[in-house]
Amino acid sequence: MKASALEFRLRYFLHGLVYTLGFWAPWNYALHLDPPGPNSHTWGLLAATLSKAGLMNIGADFDLLLALGIAFAVGGALLRTWGSAYLGAGIVQDGSMHAGVVADGPYRHLRNPLYLGTFLHSFTLTLLMPPSGAIWTLVLIGVMQIRLILGEEAFLESTLGAPYLAYCQLVPRLLPSLKTRIAAAGKPPAWGQAFLGELYMWGVACSFAFAGWNYNARPLIKCVIISLGLSLVARAFIKGPKNRE
């Protein structure tokens, strides 16, 4: 069940592949799982379903789903930036596993803020996908996150031994504890590098917050692509694990 070292190294590519197939939904050409039309994305179909249920009018339902999407996007970006600030953006972007326990920032509340942030972000993206693509994305991203977590845990347990096991007993894996579970180690955060490393996440969050009120999925998809492109450029300015601040 745990991810291999190769899967960990290729994790960004694999996430991108899952998202791309979720937007494209190539299986729909043969299976016709999703309805046609400009509002056949999950956002529009969920809004129509809620409207038919009589809870609110369709405009309010669109707004509700957009607000949830913005909340998930901002929450994911905050979690990943917070975690990256203490872990180090260079390590976050690196293809190798690193031995060490971070006892600061979000790592005092949960062990995997980066993976939880990614999963929250995925909920936002699925609003723009056809329903079958949304289901595909959430299932595959969820499975990948669990595999990566188990792979990292096995590596850290074999490398660090008892100290890491003690940390795992105190700090929950994915469901954050409202109270800090361990004492702070005192490592200063590197916020600038963390923001650069998570520029894509913030780009998506800002796109939904400022452009989502047009209720048009196509410009938002373009904004997601632009955010990805900007983040790839920003990676050139992120210091690697050997020379980070």
How does pLDDT run across 8-48, given as a tens digit for each residue? 999 999 999 999 999 999 999 999 999 987 778 999 999 99
Give domain status of residue 144, yes or no.
Answer: yes
Give domain status of residue 201, yes or no.
Answer: yes
pTM (2 d.p.) = 0.94
Give domain status of residue 133, yes or no.
Answer: yes
Give domain status of residue 244, yes or no.
Answer: no
Give domain status of residue 245, yes or no.
Answer: no
Give domain status of residue 148, yes or no.
Answer: yes
Dump pLDDT digits (tens) for 188-213: 999 999 999 999 999 999 999 999 99
- Give me the number of domains the chain comprises: 1
Query: Which carries the bigger pLDDT value, residue 240 or residue 42?
Result: 42
Q: Which residue range forms the structural domain that includes residue 186?
A: 5-27+40-237
Place of tokens 């953006």: 89
Q: Quote the mean pLDDT of the chain.
A: 94
Q: Is the pLDDT of residue 244 over 70?
A: no
Alpha helices in the chain, H assignment, sequence order: 5-9, 11-24, 28-31, 42-52, 58-87, 89-93, 113-126, 131-160, 162-170, 191-197, 199-211, 217-234
Q: Is the pLDDT of residue 236 over 90?
A: no
